[in-house]
Amino acid sequence: MTRRRCSLSPSLPRCDPGPVRGICFHPTQPLFVSGGDDYKIKVWNYKLRRCLFTLLGHLDYIRTVQMHHESPWIISASDDQTIRIWNWQSRSCISVLTGHNHYVMSALFHPKVSIKNRVNLSLSLSQSIHPSS
């Protein structure tokens, strides 16, 4: 059996050194976000087939990324034991959430609650679930 390495698309440039651990599409725009072992969050336009910009701030592997369903926010979870919330329009980190004492494996926005209520969850290897509101 022949094994082949798969990529997202042969026509998208490969610019992520190392594994990509998280990816999420924007619900209405031709964008997706990726995060991985290079500690970088990248925002891509799949119609233009290129990376638009990179967000820096995590100090270890990024486990998951998610785009908010109505606001210009990205949530990311990292092995640096933090969750960061980013405004992808201003290209800035707007919040760093701490409190985990091990790798943060996942963080999610609530799929229906308005951003004004700021409900999200995070999961850690410390066997804990942290609600944040």
Q: Domain ranges for the chain, please list them.
A: 20-132
Q: Measure the CA–CA gap between 79 and 58, rounded to whole angstroms.
A: 9
Average pLDDT over residues 51-76: 94
pTM for this entry: 0.78
The two three-digit tokens of residue 106, written as one number: 């996942």
pLDDT digits (tens, 9 = 90+) for 71-114: 899 999 999 999 999 999 999 999 898 888 888 888 888 777 66
> What amino acid is encoded at 68 in this protein?
H
CATH number at 20-132? 2.130.10.10
pLDDT digits (tens, 9 = 90+) for 29-48: 999 999 999 999 999 999 99
Task: Write down the pLDDT at residue 123.
Answer: 57
Other C-beta atoms closer than 10 Å to the C-beta of 3 total 5
Task: Write down the pLDDT at residue 99.
Answer: 80
